[in-house]
Amino acid sequence: MTRHILALAWLAMLAPPAAAAPPSDTADDTALEALLKREVQGPSRYAQSLMDAPASVSVLEREESNALGHQTVGDLLARLPGVYLSNSRSYSALGLRGFNRPGDYSSRVLMAIDGQRVNDAIYDQGLPQLELPIMAEWVKRVELVHGPGSSVYGSNALLGVVNVVTLNGADAPGLTAQGSIGEQGLRRVEMHYGASAAADRDVFVGLNLQRSAGDNLYLPELGTPDGWVRGLDGERQAALLAKVRHGDWRLSLNAVRREKDAPTAPYGTLAGVPGTTYVDSIVLGEVSHDPGWQGDVRRSLRLSVAGYEFRGRYVFEQAPDLINKDVARAQWTTLEGRILWRGLLNHQLMVGAELRTSPYGMQRNYDVEPRHVSLDSNVTQDSAAIYAQDQWRLSSTLHLTTGLRVDHVRGFSPALSPRAVLAFRPDERESFKLMWARSFRTPNLYERFYEDDGLTQVSNAALKPERVNSAEATWEYLLPSGHAFSANAYYTRMSRLIEQVPLSDDIGAIVQYRNIGLVSLRGVDLGVEQRSAAGWLWRASASWMDARNDAGQRLSNAPSWMLKGHVVTPQWHSWQLGAEWNLVGPRLGRVDVPSTAGLNAHLRYQIDARQSLALHVSNALDRSNSDPSTPDTALNSIPQSGRSLRLDWRITL
Amino acid sequence: MLPTLAGAQAASPESLKAEVIYRVLMFVTWPPERETPERGLQICTLGEGSVEGALRSLSGRPIRQLTVTVRRLARPDQHAGCHLLYVPAPQPALRTALADAPVLVVSDAAAMLDQGSMINLQVEDGRIVFDVELDAARRAGLVISTKLLRLARFVRHQTSAP
């Protein structure tokens, strides 16, 4: 595709059913088109083919994540400029642009797998670590599209869109199995199988099973007899990905079940007592049809069916037991059709329509014995959206992308999400982009309808959608030596932000979600990377962020600076080392947390052509880092893991 | 999932550009008197350019009923008989020498679209793209198929209909 409308994250779903048969058998224009898709050797490859995309996009590929010993998509995302992860020891969270409110579930970032939305229909969760149904080993690359993306993706794409592009069978042929053991009782088995026949048949299957006992934590604030909480940080996860491509058709099934013990005594549960746990399950299924370009037109259709279930178990008293349970369950089905048209010279037009229905979105809260139901809510949701985007080549160096999407969610007034990007490409090595966009997020069912007899939360059916306006500028530059530089500056304003508001001054007061926030996020991300001819590969980035509310106060869990980087050595006699580091500035919270530092190293030894052994050290400097506390717990801050070792053995058959 | 040709590895830019030029030729029609099988289809090169060697390998391949031959010019005014002229760098005397002769001028230098090139190849995001100066090609009496135009990155033209 020379006219590059596809290049954003939704590229994945639009990729043609790989260039078919050999050129000699096909029409002249198909043969030329296939030729224009072939990669050229040279430094431009390192720009990850996204300088031309109508957005600022950061990418991390499989090769790098593999050498750094990544296991989760969050590990990959943490390498990208401007991203910071946090962990409440119940859930992980993804921060962008200095925005990562404690207790949020990353609902302001749209998370997608091969273009299919992951954010669920109850909490809007799209969480980056083991909550996600994809493991790092199944990822071909992760793309982070910076800034609002609602003009194509709809709700949730406020601060960015993460698209996880998974492997095809052709990318990883054969069976690969991996076993890991590590400290904190880590046991993990991961395997994947890929196969492809001809150009139009492809299968990929991945399976992951893991568990860990987690840390014994010294949490004196919780008032356990000796201040320790032991054996309550366990995590168990199983994930599956299966996808098949046959001709123009693609079918995929993706599922995860994650169980996490909560050591932080959330919501006033008993501290130091087992049994308070969270279980999250997601199933995503999709069938899509894309016959590729037929003359000037390309039509694609996808139908996806998704389900999500949350089960929370809370131990409030023992002997006699008082167990409270939270259950949330939702199902949603989405039908999306899209047409690309290139019949007008120097333009590429895209129009699309999306229908979504969620026949049930159930939330229930009850005490087990004596049985008492305090919440029983079930809501049906429907939405319809249409969108259009035009990419207009003004000259060989300038293009303008404009887009508009209208979403109508039942019960809310229509939301308009426009977007405009002007991109200037003076030559192959340099690009400038200016972008302005508006996005929205519909309040989710948890924010609107969760109410548990006045124990923790009061519902608010009157919530309105959040809004974001953002302007940003990006510069990318490539040197012949293989150095690539990037700079991205943004000014993002979020209005009617939905935030938890305590209804009294007491600690542990009942909360309600309200449209109160007005937040501005300003910042700059600078990045540099190089692949040297000798095989070294390194990246570094520096971010400055200023996230404030309308009173001018800094937001909680918002660092004002961040420095990160990684380096991968060439293979030297069967040995290869990858190392990554993160420095994150101090963050405000219930108690402010000082700056954190993390260093991970991954040393791999290739035993023979099929087997390798690797030693992974995370937090190698054994720094005691903390994340700001989340509202559900009485802790002042959440301690993070110290140094831990892991051994991976991998075999490919 | 970037589209890749089945089994294709990254190729050298020169060989890929030459291959694209060959494929582009299939979508260009010369005035009938210039398309005679006995004279073949002449690819001419002018000046030193990295693609020149790769273009030589096209020699002998068929385009419709024509066979490709490749020859090198010392000066722009030696273009008689050329169907395609590959110019790796701006040539001051090029426009006057060619006038409106039916020669498809092809280049891969960045600014050449303003300096007489009708098809200009560039590398963008690791792939070959090309721009078309449609008005210049029409003045020279060449017909470029719309199939080719829709694969172009940018088509410069005054008239609205392609």
pLDDT score of A18 more than 90: no
What is the model's pLDDT at position B17? 92
With beta carbons less than 8 A apart as the criterion, state whether A363 and A459 touch. no
Q: Is A400 part of the contact surface with chain B (CB cutoff 8 Å)?
A: no
ipTM comes to 0.79
With beta carbons less than 8 A apart as the criterion, state whether A631 and A510 touch. no
Distances (CA, A) of A26 to A292, A536, B43: 14, 40, 24
Per-residue model confidence as pLDDT tens digits over A539-588: 999 999 999 999 999 999 999 999 999 999 999 999 999 999 999 999 99
Provide the chain A residues 136-165 that lie in CB contact (below 8 A) with chain B: 140, 165
What is the model's pLDDT at position A5? 32
With beta carbons less than 8 A apart as the criterion, state whether A510 and A537 touch. no
Q: Residues A295-309: what's their mean pLDDT?
A: 95
What is the model's pLDDT at position B159? 61
What is the model's pLDDT at position A8? 38
Of A3, A12, A15, the CB nearest to B153: A3
**Residue B92: CB atoms within 10 Å:** 9
Total-model pTM: 0.90
Assign domain B13-156 to a CATH class: alpha beta
Per-residue model confidence as pLDDT tens digits over A133-187: 999 999 999 999 999 999 999 999 999 999 999 999 999 999 999 999 999 999 9
Q: Which residues, at least 6 apart from A448, have a Cβ–Cβ distance to it below 8 Å? A: A379, A459, A460, A461, A463, A513
CA A39 – CA B3 distance, rounded (Å): 10
Element (H, E) at A449: helix A445-449
What is the model's pLDDT at position B7? 37
What is the model's pLDDT at position A203? 97
Left if phi > 0, otherwise alpha if psi is -120 to 50, otherwise beta: which for A48?
A: left
The residue among A11, A241, A243 whose CA lies nearest residue B2 is A11
With beta carbons less than 8 A apart as the criterion, state whether B136 and B101 touch. no
Domain ranges of chain B: 13-156
pLDDT confidence of A47, banded at 50, 70, 90? Answer: very low
The residue among B118, B43, B122 whose CA lies nearest residue B83 is B43
Q: Which of A1, A25, A28, A40 to mutate to test the interface with B (most CBs of B within 10 A)?
A: A40
Mark yes or no for CB contact B5/A41 under 8 Å.
no
Element (H, E) at B97: helix B94-98
What is the model's pLDDT at position A10? 39
Of B6, B124, B148, the CB nearest to A52: B124
pLDDT confidence of A652, banded at 50, 70, 90? Answer: very high
With beta carbons less than 8 A apart as the criterion, state whether B31 and B67 touch. no
With beta carbons less than 8 A apart as the criterion, state whether B156 and B132 touch. yes
Between A8-17, A116-125, A501-510, B74-83, the lowest mean confidence (pLDDT) is in: A8-17
Q: What is the mean pLDDT of chain A?
A: 91
CA angle centred on B26, ends B21 and B31, rounded to 5°: 110
With beta carbons less than 8 A apart as the criterion, state whether A92 and A111 touch. no
Residue in chain A closest to B112 (alpha carbons) equals A396
Q: Residues A444-472: what's their mean pLDDT?
A: 93
pLDDT confidence of B143, banded at 50, 70, 90? Answer: very high
pLDDT score of A25 more than 60: no
pLDDT score of A12 more than 50: no
Q: Is A16 part of the contact surface with chain B (CB cutoff 8 Å)?
A: yes
What is the model's pLDDT at position A592? 93
With beta carbons less than 8 A apart as the criterion, state whether A161 and A9 touch. yes
**Residue A404: CB atoms within 10 Å:** 17
Q: Residues B37-47: what's their mean pLDDT?
A: 86
DSSP A329-341: EEEEEEEEEEEEE
pLDDT score of A312 more than 60: yes
Per-residue model confidence as pLDDT tens digits over A54-86: 888 899 999 999 999 999 999 999 999 999 999
pLDDT score of B116 more than 90: no
Distances (CA, A) of A280 to A125, A155, A163, B110: 10, 22, 21, 54
What is the model's pLDDT at position A199? 78
Mark yes or no for CB contact B128/A40 under 8 Å.
yes
CA A300 – CA A289 distance, rounded (Å): 6
Tokens of A56: 């600022």
What is the model's pLDDT at position A40? 61
With beta carbons less than 8 A apart as the criterion, state whether A162 and A141 touch. no
Q: Which of A171, A345, A399 to mutate to test the interface with B (most CBs of B within 10 A)?
A: A345
Residue carrying structure tokens 């009617």: A496
- Domains in chain A: ranges and CATH: 5-652 (2.40.170.20)
Q: Please state, for a pLDDT cut of 90, what percent of chain A lies above it.
A: 80
Q: Is A199 part of the contact surface with chain B (CB cutoff 8 Å)?
A: yes
Residue carrying structure tokens 């308070």: A276
Residues of A in contact with B117 (CB under 8 A): none
What is the model's pLDDT at position B39? 80
Decide which of B92 and B71 is more confident: B71
